[in-house]
Chain A
């Protein structure tokens, strides 16, 4: 079955760029039925959507992070990536990648939800 796995440094210095990659296995990232997204969770806190990408490269970002976020996709490697620049301690969190499915509910319309998640990777911002 489809699996997602985050990878990248667990420690990033303040003011530097956080870079993570999500590798998709057991299925194609190029399916027209899905978007792909990044969500983070600071220690002991709630979930925050960072952004999403379609296999074509169309991207959508959380307005509160938009100036610092870049999400890209590499269909040849079945991967998508996150870059977050100018990080501070406030960016310390568990970062999850996830699949966003598109489903048509009869007589109701089209809906999205994050149905498959990676295990998450902890990123600490510290000097």
Chain B
């Protein structure tokens, strides 16, 4: 099974900050990596698929990079609506398996 880790588990940041979240896979998953944003009481929202492709309607301040085992989600200038928990998810095993990372909570400094 492919295991996913994320770092940090939480971070505090201010509006306007550049924020970077890291996701690591236990084996190479090429570019089969997605990022989601989840706000309290809401369903997750797809931000990035295929490691770096921006989902339609997602602001361009969100970007993804990486391949193999190491990936990064970057928010170039944090906005008030970006305070949320972010999850990575591997789709390398699709459709037979998907694994989510444990999440990174971004809150207000």
Interface residues, chain A, CB within 8 Å of chain B? 35, 37, 46-49, 52, 54, 60, 62-63, 96, 98, 100, 103, 105, 108, 111-115, 117-120
Interface range, B side: 20 to 34
Interchain CB contact (< 8 A) of A49 among B46, B49, B55, B98? B98
Q: Is B66 an interface residue when CB atoms closer than 8 A count as contact?
A: no
Please judge, given known A-B contacts A103-B49, A105-B50, A117-B43, whether A112 and B91 are in contact too, CB under 8 Å: yes
A-B contact pairs, 7 of them (CB 8 A): A47-B89, A47-B100, A47-B103, A63-B1, A103-B50, A114-B89, A117-B43
Interchain CB contact (< 8 A) of B100 among A49, A63, A103, A112? A49
The B contact surface, by secondary structure, is loop
Greatest chain A CB density within 10 A among B32, B45, B55, B94 is at B94
Chain B residues 83 to 109 lying within 8 A of chain A, measured CB to CB, are 87, 89, 91, 94-103
Q: What residue of chain B has the Cβ atom nearest to residue A52's Cβ?
A: B95
A41 vs B36: C-alpha distance when bound (angstroms): 14
**Chain B: minimal CB distance from A100 (Å):** 7
Q: What residue of chain A has the Cβ atom nearest to residue B34's Cβ?
A: A113
Question: Chain B 31-72 against A: per-residue CB contact (8 Å), 1 yes, 0 no?
Answer: 110101010001111100110010100000000000000000
Please judge, given known A-B contacts A114-B46, A118-B43, whether A60 and B101 are in contact too, CB under 8 Å: no
Are B50 and A108 in contact (CB-based, < 8 A)?
A: yes
Q: What residue of chain A has the Cβ atom nearest to residue B100's Cβ?
A: A47
Are B43 and A119 in contact (CB-based, < 8 A)?
A: yes
Q: Which residues of chain B have C-beta atoms less than 8 A from A37's C-beta? A: 98
User: Contacts A49-B98, A52-B95, A54-B95 given; 14 further ones with Cβ under 8 A?
Assistant: A47-B103, A103-B49, A105-B53, A108-B50, A111-B31, A111-B53, A112-B91, A112-B94, A113-B34, A113-B55, A114-B34, A115-B55, A117-B45, A118-B43
Q: Which residues of chain A have C-beta atoms less than 8 A from B103's C-beta? A: 46-47
In the A-B complex, the 9 residue pairs with the closest CB atoms: A117-B43, A113-B49, A49-B98, A47-B100, A111-B50, A113-B34, A112-B94, A112-B91, A60-B96
**Chain B: minimal CB distance from A64 (Å):** 9
Q: Which residues of chain A have C-beta atoms less than 8 A from B55's C-beta? A: 113, 115
